[in-house]
Copies of this chain bind each other. A is one copy, B any other.
Amino acid sequence: MERAKIRLCVEHPLGAGQAVPLDPDQAHYLFVVMRLEKGARVALFNGRDGEWTAEVAEAHKKRGILVCVAQAAPQLDPPDLWLIFAPIKKERTDFIVEKATELGCARILPMQSEFTNSARIRQDRLQAHAREAAEQCLGTFVPPVEDLQPLSKLLSGWDTSRRILWADEALVGPAETLASLPPGPWAILIGPEGGFSPSERAKLRDLPFVTPISLGPRILRADTAVCAAITLWQIGIGDWQ
């Protein structure tokens, strides 16, 4: 069976014969925007049960029911990698959330450092962005996006069994393959444009669970650094191996 082209992320459990009620936005999208009719097929995932092909059983403008027919792909969870990043301009922040979802992060933590421009974020909008990224890229997992929190608070309450890979913009030079890092839970830390303040840098250097890395001989924008650091981690000790 060919995989359905339209994909939706839902909350409901998925399984053979399972009926899945749609919320008004989803019904509007499927039956008004995309003009699907009874019997049409849609791909569903919920972050736990893989991808299911489902058939439209009831179609109304603001409600509808899909019925799961068969599993189209198994659940693919990302490795235990978090991303901590400083929100930048709206478009580039959206981009970071999209890329972290695609490249395989399990959780996304926006943080406010001394040089972070944003004092607030629209957490709900960023979460929707992660969901759309998974929908569009055949993903079956949507990383939770947390609310903005100060870096100092994040670090003071940090579970030290999770190591932090710090893309240190002052380390411009050869990068590492990361294959030598210990496996286990990790978080990648990317600073804002302008980097970290001297006191933040001193603190990060002193923390025993923080490993600084270089991302090559060129200066990278924050969003580029996110892509490069996740790629290096995934190929080194993640699930791209």
Contacts and interface: CB of A to CB of B under 8 A. Distances in A.
Interface of A: 76, 95, 99, 102-104, 136-139, 174-177, 179, 215-221, 224, 227-228, 231-232, 234-235, 239-241
Contacts of A99: 224, 227
A180 to B, nearest CB: 12
Contact of A103 (B103, B179, B224, B234): B224
Contacts of A228: 103, 227, 231
A195 to B, nearest CB: 12
Contacts of A179: 177
Contacts of A104: 216-218
B102 A221 contact: yes
Contact of A239 (B136, B216, B227, B240): B216
A13 B217 CA distance: 24
A231 B174 CA distance: 12
Nearest to A226: B227
B218 A76 contact: yes
A217 B235 contact: no
A215 B103 CA distance: 9
A47 to B, nearest CB: 14
A136 B227 contact: no
Contacts of A218: 76, 102-104, 137-139
7 contacts: A103-B216, A104-B218, A137-B219, A137-B220, A216-B235, A216-B240, A228-B231
A192 to B, nearest CB: 15
A224 B175 contact: no
A47 B158 CA distance: 44
